[in-house]
Structure 1
Amino acid sequence: MHRPRIREGFPGQRLVVLPPQIISHALRLPVCGLLFPTHIGGFNQAKYHFVERRHGTAQHILIICLAGVGSCRLGAKTWRLEKGHGIVLPPETYHRYQADQEQPWTILWVHFVGCAAPAFATALSVTLTEPRFWIGDLALVIDAFEETYRYVLSGYTDRDLLGLSTSLGHLLGLCRIHQKLPGLRRRMAEDRILRSIRYMRENLSRPITLKDCAHSAGWSEAHFSLIFRRQTNLAPMRYLTRLKIHRACELLKTTDLSIQEVAREIGFEDQFYFSRLFHRHLRMAPTSYRREFSLTALSALPNR
């Protein structure tokens, strides 16, 4: 019996294709030119999903499997994808991917371009011979995808496009940080690093130290710092600071907490130190960020 082949049109699907003129404009902007999405979406239990491109696409494609089973053929080899698997398909290369007939997959996906797109793909340690990887903490990656998708829907001002570009970079960065690679020793090391990152996230409201983070991983401070930097390309305390700044951004956008209260929520008693740190990272004061990006401010903008 002939099996149907469906490219899109699934119940409850999400799919956005950015207008070509918007993509062209974004790629001329300083930050967006490094990395920018062109298509983004998600399919739930996509029965009979089938896509084949003889000459590939002009973009890299990231596919993340949330449930079910699918397969992807790249060149002459086929990879099975299950929950937690991700795969990056390079541009201008034959590929075919499809849902399993008995357990059709649920996937998130994004096409992306930019002069730094190949570097982001390389950072995920994917190659033509091994394009598949496994994500250890899927929930965080899903949250990052949802943030990127929200920016796609928010509008096409330069501010929106910058948010879209940086949120996509955050998504790809989390895929790398929470990626599980082969090898027992490496997997054990990555599990400890993930444990320390989880500890950081759970304790953003208090002033934790490098010693605390190293203890959560079960290592000495020196060894922890070495392995952490090797896995994330950042020193542990710098990574912690970025987590705090990201949390502060969320609070500024979604709550009415005062600047002092936001500072305390991320472990700083001195709101002026927090404000200087925030400005150093984002080149704007917390109050300016709130005016620009809070949900209240955005809802007051005219419809575009």
Structure 2
Amino acid sequence: MNPETTIKKQEGFQGQKAIILPRSVLATLIKNNDIVSPLYITDIGYYPKAKHHFRERKHGADQHILIYCIKGNGRVTIHNTSHEIGSGEFVLIPAKTPHVYEADDQDPWTIHWIHFKGSVSNSIIDTFEKQTDSYKGSILASEKIVNLFDEMYHQLERGYSIDNVAYTNMCFWHFMTLFLFNNKFNASAESLEKDPSDLAIDYMSKHIDKALTLEEVARQVNFSTSHFSSLFKKKTGHAPMEYFNHLKIQKACQYLLFTSLRIKEVAQGLGFEDPYYFSRLFTKVMGVSPALYREKRSH
């Protein structure tokens, strides 16, 4: 067939599957359900080897769209910016945003796709865009993602009972975290390059028993203290030494719960020379003194 006369299509691919949730179900079982209304699926589907797949929405969709490619290639254009999408890559398309997507003519993509809404859905899109400066990402956890997708799809195939819809959309939270944090918490991604804040946290965790200084930690990531502090606080929401102290108090809680160490020994084991300072810091972070924390948790 002449490429110029190729008929593009929105669906109709061998082996495809899709579920469009009835909008009446969404209105009654989701919008009024506090558990799932923050984030929920409206449409879900799978298109294998979607040759000639093409879709244009000049005014965007009412929902956000996630397209995850597991084989082949395609292209997604958002706001006149094109993104080439290959195996292991995905794109998040914001609601109400003009877009076009299509499969590659020579090696058409195989995709899992989901349309979603909810009170936190805009924040999810915004968070991803801020992290990547793009709507496109890549991910390693393909088997986990596909298995979770199949689980959600299977449950929706069984109907729209309150339990089925709630279970599916609670699974969807986990599903979205795999994309939103883009391999950060994927065990198989340990060898990937980490950003300075992650490296600093690793260093803090390995030296939890030391009285590290800001200068020492900044030196480990080759930054000045001011630049490192600004970067770290922007990433974590906490100043570096405040974060380090929180890690120490977290470890102190474990010592108090699971060992018979005296409070003075716990303090020394975490690099605090002054046990009274340790007790004041613990009380400030946890809301109770170390002694009271141990006493309350032992009953």
> Is the partner of 1:142 in helix, strand or coil?
helix
> Is the partner of 2:125 in helix, strand or coil?
helix
- After superposition, what is the alpha-carbon deviation per residue over 1:22-60, rounded to whole angstroms, capped at 9, x for unaligned? 011111110221011110001111000000011111100
Relative to structure 1, the CA distance from residue 221 to residue 160 in structure 2 (aligned partners, 3 Å threshold; closer, same or farther) is farther
- In structure 1, what residue type is equivalent to 2:48? N
**Which residue is equivalent to 1:133?**
137
> Is the partner of 2:134 in helix, strand or coil?
coil
Instruction: Select 2:194's aligned residue among 182, 189, 192.
Output: 189
- Would you say the 8 A contact 2:137–2:182 is kept in 1? no
> Is the partner of 1:188 in helix, strand or coil?
coil
Q: Name the CA distance, whole Å, in 2 between partners of 1:120 and 1:148.
A: 19
Could you tell me which runs of 5 or more consecutive residues in structure 2 were left unpaired when the two chains were aligned. 185-190, 209-216, 218-231, 237-245, 251-299
> Is the partner of 2:194 in helix, strand or coil?
helix
**Which residue is equivalent to 1:52?**
56
Q: Give TM-score scaled by structure 2 length.
A: 0.61
Q: Name the CA distance, whole Å, in 2 between partners of 1:179 and 1:95.
A: 26
Relative to structure 1, the CA distance from residue 144 to residue 122 in structure 2 (aligned partners, 3 Å threshold; closer, same or farther) is farther
Could you tell me which runs of 5 or more consecutive residues in structure 1 were left unpaired when the two chains were aligned. 181-185, 194-213, 239-304
- Would you say the 8 A contact 1:70–1:97 is kept in 2? yes
TM-fit CA distance, 1:187: 4.3
Relative to structure 1, the CA distance from residue 44 to residue 54 in structure 2 (aligned partners, 3 Å threshold; closer, same or farther) is same
Q: Percent identity?
A: 26
- In structure 1, what residue type is equivalent to 2:194? A
**Pairing 1:6–2:9 present:** yes
> Is the partner of 1:175 in helix, strand or coil?
helix
Instruction: Select 1:101's aligned residue among 105, 110, 113.
Output: 105
Q: Give TM-score scaled by structure 1 length.
A: 0.60
- In structure 2, what residue type is equivalent to 1:188? E
Structure with larger Rg: 2
- In structure 1, what residue type is equivalent to 2:24? Q
- After superposition, what is the alpha-carbon deviation per residue over 1:126-165, rounded to whole angstroms, capped at 9, x for unaligned? 6896100111222222222122212211221211111111
Q: Number of aligned pairs?
A: 206
- Would you say the 8 A contact 1:27–1:36 is kept in 2? no
**Which residue is equivalent to 2:65?**
61
Instruction: Select 1:171's aligned residue among 175, 179, 203.
Output: 175
Q: Name the CA distance, whole Å, in 2 between partners of 1:153 and 1:221.
A: 50
- After superposition, what is the alpha-carbon deviation per residue over 1:53-112, rounded to whole angstroms, capped at 9, x for unaligned? 111111000000101000001011110000111110011111000000000000000000
**Pairing 1:220–2:220 present:** no
Q: Name the CA distance, whole Å, in 1 between partners of 2:68 and 2:96.
A: 20
- Out of 120-129 and 58-67, give the one that drifted further: 120-129
- Would you say the 8 A contact 2:59–2:98 is kept in 1? yes
**Which residue is equivalent to 1:78?**
82
**Which residue is equivalent to 1:245?**
none
**Which residue is equivalent to 1:254?**
none
**Which residue is equivalent to 1:198?**
none
Q: Name the CA distance, whole Å, in 2 between partners of 1:84 and 1:126.
A: 21
- The 4+ residue runs of structure 1 with deviation greater than 6 A are none
- In structure 1, what residue type is equivalent to 2:81? K
